[in-house]
Amino acid sequence: MRTPRKSGILLHPTSLPGSGGIGSLGAEASAFIDFLAASGQSLWQVLPLGPTGHGNSPYSCYSAYAGNPLLVNFETLVEEGDLAAGECEDSGTKHRIDFPRVQRYKSRLLLKAADTFLARDDDHRHDEFRHFRETTPWLQDFALFMALKDHFSGACWNDWPADIRTRSPHALIEYAARLAHEVNLHCYSQWQFFRQWHRVKKYANHRGVEVIGDIPIFVACDSADVWSNPSLFKLDRLGDPTVVAGVPPDYFSVTGQLWGNPLYDWEALAQSGYAWWIERLRSSFGLYDIIRIDHFRGFAACWEVPAGEATAVNGQWVDGPGEALFEAVEAALGKLPIIAEDLGVITPDVLELRDRFGFPGMKILHFAFDSGPDNPYLPHNIERSSVIYTGTHDNDTTVGWYSRLTDSERQRILHYLDSPGKTIAWDLIRATLASVADTAIIPLQDVLSLGSEAKMNAPGTVGGNWSWRYQAGDLNDGHAARLLDLTEIYGRLARRRHAH
């Protein structure tokens, strides 16, 4: 039986409108879901929802399990009595996130809300809070990790004193007792994040919208994951990585890309039956309906660079776990709806691994026009099982991308699209929805026909990334009607549900 044709929108929750200087999991999230339903969309794709570290990148988080407390909606905390209405204020500009300002503002009020909640023993929510703490296996390590980071002025865990860096039992007990209040505060923030996110997802599912989540293959060195499980990574006795992740030199960069993430010790993971990865996926499928795995090719082989190298040139390909990992995952969790991010230079073994487990790959329309009619990214060439995008969070917006092309490149694109090019973003949206791919995803910036000022991330750059937001007035019934029309024409119309 054929998979139903579907379509949806890529938008990270930080980009939602509202007060507080950053998008949050409140009324604006529900309003966006209503837009998805009104425009016939059945998918909402988000970026990783974890607590971001250096650079504010959702692909570099302090935990592979925890949520980003900056997404907690304060209006909900006011309704529940943990904050007073007068304590909340707007913070930052409308269309850009001022991360340092938002971090200071939200951290201060989250601490205040937690203190208020924890001081009220008669609050009926305490049973729910206790249940969350008792049934969330990663929470204690994460909350202690964050409390320790605050205690040691933000230092990376491998620069902490030796006893707690190496997690000696005595040190864990001592610091947990000394920082008990701070640990409780981080537990409260996580509890609020997860209860708010689950409400958002439940509402999305009620409106006929599934949520596509995103998990990076690698984790950050400065994370609770590596501190809590050092034996699963290639580290030296001090906790420093011996090798780090990257990609080799290619057409885009003569020195490659040096990401710096610690690499897994796949032999150690295999000895446990890949338990850590199984639990990571189990936890993620508690948050999402479908998961995209970033840098899927790393499961076949990854580019391993000796620690301390200035570039990724002096690396080598090292085999990953391949089929063994996903066989263990399927044995534990069953067949899973996973999208494999298979962009870039992909070798046959990666495609074989992807196809062996029936994972759809990705096609990006921005990459389709730099060669002839055999380009595998052109809508008429892609596999039906693929997920097609105009662009992703790492691409410029369609308007920005098109503006940088030469006249001859533009003419080639317009000839293919049979378009005068006056509304290039919607031309590509139409081509994406019309493609043979079962699933089509459009970044919201393209629905709004925005230029480069609205791009989410410019890979290889520092500063200014991940900060774009839209405002409530930017998205209107006209956008919904236009998208609904194209979605219906090309057979992707979702079964719509009514709001309460």
Active-site residue flag, 453: no
Question: Which contiguous run of DSSP H or E holds residue 210?
Answer: strand 210-216
DSSP calls for 412-450:
HHHHHHT--STTHHHHHHHHHHHSS-SEEEEEHHHHTT-
How many alpha carbons lie under 13 Å from residue 201 in its C-beta half-sphere? Answer: 20
Catalytic site residue from 98, 265, 289, 394: 394
Q: Where are the beta strands (DSSP E) in 228-386?
A: 243-247, 257-262, 290-294, 301-306, 316-319, 338-340, 362-364
**139: nearest Cα among 110, 113, 109, 176:** 176
Q: What span, in angstroms and rounded, lies between the C-alpha atoms of 58 and 388?
A: 22
Find out whether 235 and 241 touch, Cβ atoms under 8 Å. Answer: yes
Residue 441: phi, psi to the nearest 5? -125, 135
Question: What is the bridge-based pairing of β-strands 316-319 and 387-389?
Answer: unpaired
Catalytic site residue from 28, 210, 222, 341: 341
How many alpha carbons lie under 13 Å from residue 2 in its C-beta half-sphere? Answer: 11
Catalytic site residue from 294, 342, 438, 446: 294
Amino acid identity of 239?
G
Active-site residue flag, 341: yes
Question: Which contiguous run of DSSP H or E holds residue 483?
Answer: helix 477-489
Active-site residue flag, 394: yes
Q: What span, in angstroms and rounded, lies between the C-alpha atoms of 166 and 224?
A: 13
Could you list the active site residues? 294, 341, 394
